[in-house]
């Protein structure tokens, strides 16, 4: 299993992940908690100020994915993704929690939940990811 600093170093190699302002808060076997730092570019409706659903879907996907990376040590491509939106995300940093549901030989399943600063659930989802072949 990779430790927090190893996972964060891998995660932040991606310029998009850097732009999202991601920080690894904790890593366990098949579990991860991330922080996403709010950016004004996330706003879809300037009059109301809520975050675009695509940002939440992105955070669900990458959090579920990186929960698997904590086990595999490698990036895993997304095969399928489902996202449910529970409430509008207003301005503020987001907490992203991911957990592996099932590690398989060819595909694995992982889920994620996205919370606002008050701990309110904003979005959740589940992804299917291609499992790296063991060497």
Residue 40 class from Cβ within 10 Å (0-12 exposed, 13-18 middle, 19+ buried)? exposed
Domain spanning 4-130: CATH 3.40.710.10: no
The domains of the chain are located at 4-130
Report pLDDT digits (tens) over 37-94. 999 999 998 899 899 999 999 999 999 999 998 888 888 899 999 999 999 999 999 9
- Read off the pTM: 0.94
Report pLDDT digits (tens) over 17-48. 999 999 999 999 899 999 999 999 999 988 99
**Closest residue by Cα to residue 128 from 100, 89, 93:** 100
Q: What are phi and psi of 30, to 5 degrees?
A: 75, 15
């Amino acid at each position: 299993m990779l430790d927090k600093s190893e996972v964060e170093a891998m995660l932040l190699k991606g310029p998009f992940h850097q732009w999202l302002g991601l920080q690894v808060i904790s890593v366990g076997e098949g579990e991860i908690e991330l922080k996403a730092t709010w950016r004004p570019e996330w706003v879809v409706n300037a009059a109301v100020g809520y975050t675009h659903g695509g940002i939440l879907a992105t955070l669900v996907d990458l959090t579920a994915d990186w929960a698997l990376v904590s086990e595999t040590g490698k990036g895993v491509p997304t095969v399928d993704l489902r996202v449910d939106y529970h409430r509008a995300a207003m301005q503020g940093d987001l907490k992203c929690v991911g957990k592996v549901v099932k590690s398989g030989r060819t595909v694995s399943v992982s889920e994620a939940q996205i919370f606002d600063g008050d701990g309110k659930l904003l979005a959740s989802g589940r992804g299917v990811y291609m499992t790296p072949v063991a060497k």
